[in-house]
Amino acid sequence: MSYTLLVNKSHPLTSSYVPPCLAEAHIPFDTSAHDEKTLMEKTAAKAAAKLFHQAASDNITLMGVSGYRSYKRQESLYRNALARSSSAVAPPGTSEHQTGLALDISCASLNFELEEAFAYTKEGKWLKTNAPLYGFILRYPRRKEHITQYPWEPWHIRFVGKTLSLYLSLTGLTLEEYHQMLSNPRGNL
């Protein structure tokens, strides 16, 4: 599996795509045990466990809300969102959760909800600073919505590996900009 895999509205996954090595992410989740949301791609799950362990060592309590999400589950969430006239849910095939590399995180002060206010909590600030050290990026940053085509989500992290996460964090590039840079070696973004 390529940890640099780009998944978005222009680069969807097929309905049959399932990550090759899903494993339980040994982190606290706001859901019952053995729910598909507690799964992640094996290497990403190990990195998430290390991230959460360090958070606990720093007296930061993070809670996993959603890891892996099958195409079928995303389809159901999308249909429900459309019925509520909400555009906040990605169409099936375009969610990074289907890769097993994405993880939504929240905290007790927000009742484990996924809200922009997470960015201003001590947990959100800690995550933004420390996620790249464990191979994760904040996938949908503020003021990059026109590039990612998704709203700002300070709770959504994506495993890309430590080298790339540090590079993207230091440069402020999104995964889309990184892929564009690879396809245009002259560096004209």
Q: Would you list the DSSP string of 49-101?
A: HHHHHHHHHTT---EEEE----HHHHHHHHHHHHHTT---SPPTT--GGGGT-
Question: Is 90 exceeded by the pLDDT of residue 34?
Answer: no
Predicted local confidence at residue 64, as pLDDT = 97
Given a contact cutoff of 8 angstroms between Cβ atoms, the answer to whether 29 and 38 are in contact is: yes
Per the annotation, the verdict on 145 as an active-site residue is: no
For residues 55 and 50, give the distance between their C-alpha atoms in angstroms, rounded to a whole number.
9
What is the arithmetic mean of pLDDT over 37-55?
98
Predicted local confidence at residue 86, as pLDDT = 83
For residues 150 and 132, give the distance between their C-alpha atoms in angstroms, rounded to a whole number.
20
Predicted local confidence at residue 109, as pLDDT = 96
Question: Of residues 36, 153, 176, 177, which has the active-site annotation?
Answer: 153
For residues 82 and 72, give the distance between their C-alpha atoms in angstroms, rounded to a whole number.
15
What is the arithmetic mean of pLDDT over 40-57?
98
What's the pLDDT tens digit per position in 70-127?
999 999 999 999 999 887 889 999 999 999 999 999 999 999 999 999 999 999 999 9
| Beta bridge partner(s), residue 159 | 136
